[in-house]
Chains A and B, each alone.
Chain A
Amino acid sequence: EDQVTQSPEALRLQEGESSSLNCSYTVSGLRGLFWYRQDPGKGPEFLFTLYSAGEEKEKERLKATLTKKESFLHITAPKPEDSATYLCAVQDNYGQNFVFGPGTRLSVLP
């Protein structure tokens, strides 16, 4: 059974204090790993898709990386507007099913 865990559960950073969020996964055959951002009262918003180990994607202050067992979302010099819950999901090779992790709740203080 596919499984996704995320750590930490919650993270508080000062503005400008860089850090990383972790997503560990177990999947029989990885088709893709996805990162989403979710603001309170809204649906998850797509950020990145990673397909193979060693792949990296960047968008503004965010960079996502992928290994065979985990993915990291690196946040460089975060701003208060980066505060949100960050969700990781995996899709296996056998279908369209997504398995989501529980998320990391990020708070960036000014």
Chain B
Amino acid sequence: DAGVIQSPRHEVTEMGQEVTLRCKPISGHDYLFWYRQTMMRGLELLIYFNNNVPIDDSGMPEDRFSAKMPNASFSTLKIQPSEPRDSAVYFCASSPFDTQYFGPGTRLTVL
């Protein structure tokens, strides 16, 4: 298996623009997680899905953030409109039950 795949790997955008991050989890994993990592706050859970259903989105910072999982092999995290404070590395992880396997991350820079 190729592991968790994320795209794009790097994204530079201007404040106010819409940003969409994509994730393909490991096949057969029922859980999918979105994290944000910054130097100041470390690794923070934003939202997670079980069998494509959002279970806990309490970590989503604002209504500007939304996540979807239309099927078992694809998820998106959207920020609209983006702000400079959203600059961070965004990780997707998938899990069969407990152990989480992380993707390489998307480095987002909002100017």
Docked complex Cα distance between A101 and B33 (Å) = 17
Give which listed residue, B42, B98, B102, contacts A49 with CB less than 8 A.
B98
Give which listed residue, B4, B43, B48, B93, contacts A97 with CB less than 8 A.
B48
Which residues of the other chain, B, contact A95 by a CB distance below 8 angstroms? 55-56
**Are the C-beta atoms of B99 and A43 separated by less than 8 Å?**
no
**Are the C-beta atoms of B31 and A103 separated by less than 8 Å?**
no
Docked complex Cα distance between A95 and B58 (Å) = 13
Whether B45 sits at the interface, judged by CB under 8 Å, is yes
**Are the C-beta atoms of A32 and B98 separated by less than 8 Å?**
yes
Give which listed residue, B45, B101, B105, contacts A42 with CB less than 8 A.
B105
Interface size class of A (residues with CB under 8 A): 20 to 34
| A87-B55 CB under 8 A given contacts A44-B102, A46-B101, A96-B31 | no
- The secondary structure that dominates the A interface is strand
Number of A-B contacts (CB under 8 A): 48
**Are the C-beta atoms of A91 and B98 separated by less than 8 Å?**
yes
Docked complex Cα distance between A9 and B32 (Å) = 29
**Are the C-beta atoms of A100 and B43 separated by less than 8 Å?**
yes
Which residues of the other chain, B, contact A45 by a CB distance below 8 angstroms? 102
Which residues of the other chain, A, contact B4 by a CB distance below 8 angstroms? 43
Q: Which of A32-59 contact B (CB under 8 A)?
A: 32, 34, 36, 41-46, 49
**Are the C-beta atoms of A100 and B42 separated by less than 8 Å?**
yes
Which residues of the other chain, B, contact A42 by a CB distance below 8 angstroms? 104-105
Whether B25 sits at the interface, judged by CB under 8 Å, is no
Whether B80 sits at the interface, judged by CB under 8 Å, is no
**Are the C-beta atoms of A96 and B48 separated by less than 8 Å?**
yes
Docked complex Cα distance between A36 and B55 (Å) = 24
CB distance from B59 to the nearest CB of A (A): 9
- What are some 26 contacts across the A-B interface (CB < 8 A)? A31-B98, A34-B99, A34-B100, A36-B102, A41-B105, A42-B104, A42-B105, A43-B4, A43-B93, A43-B105, A44-B43, A45-B102, A46-B100, A46-B101, A49-B99, A87-B43, A95-B55, A96-B33, A96-B48, A96-B56, A96-B95, A98-B45, A100-B42, A100-B43, A101-B42, A102-B42
